[in-house]
Copies of this chain bind each other. A is one copy, B any other.
Amino acid sequence: MHRTKVRVVEDALDANNTIARANRDDFDRHGVKVVNFMSAPGAGKTTLLERVLPQLEGIRVGVLEGDVQGSMDADRLAGLHVPVTQINTDPGFGGECHLDANMVRSAVPSLPLEEIDLLVIENVGNLVCPAEFRVGEDARVMVCSVTEGEDKPLKYPLMFRTCELVLINKIDLLPHLEFDLGKLLYNLDAVHPGVQRMMVSARTGEGIGEWRNWLSTLAARAEAPA
């Protein structure tokens, strides 16, 4: 009798991670770098994209827009002449509050992977569940706006802990707020010590150049040998 020993690794039981790896493989095959872009509702994700995408010279960008319903953000970004694909989590996914790997998988055939270098996946506005689902990204970027208060890293630690870059947005409003930036950074370092952070304002453009450089570097990064 012939026996094949199958080692069931815990990770492999996680269907989401399995599908995320399939997405990852497709992105890698086309040399596309992928950013999973997350925040609370209204933190400024779309406005930040409107600001930075036109500055990404020489890099071909595509956007995958995740929303519960509607295509308002996709419509805004389509004005920038970048290819935008919309996923709505409402029909078929039951109004989910996040994107998961399978939703992104369902959009892969619609993505122009041959024609882009960088894919930005704008997740559903939510600080909880999006952090729990890898979708096949190279990097996670989150936006935290200063109008949300200094306590958010402590209240939503998984989101802050699993991202590579935190954009601290709406800093143009600092003179009008009772907001202690030092306290936010202290709380940020408490849950994710030393994580890269940039102070930005989608409104004034402050810090957008620094973020553009970060995205350019990501898009240009050569694959490490497997």
Contact = CB atoms under 8 A, between A and B. Distances in A.
A41 B72 contact: no
Contact of A127 (B125, B132, B158, B176): B125
A128 interface: yes
A154 interface: yes
A45 B155 CA distance: 14
State how many copies of this chain the complex holds.
2
A180 B66 CA distance: 25
A170 B96 CA distance: 28
B176 A68 contact: no
A92 to B, nearest CB: 16
30 contacts: A40-B41, A40-B42, A40-B125, A41-B127, A41-B152, A42-B147, A42-B148, A42-B149, A42-B152, A67-B155, A68-B156, A68-B158, A69-B155, A70-B155, A72-B151, A95-B132, A95-B158, A96-B128, A97-B97, A97-B128, A97-B129, A125-B127, A125-B156, A126-B128, A147-B147, A147-B170, A173-B173, A173-B176, A173-B177, A178-B203
Closest 3 CB pairs of A and B: A42-B148, A97-B128, A147-B147
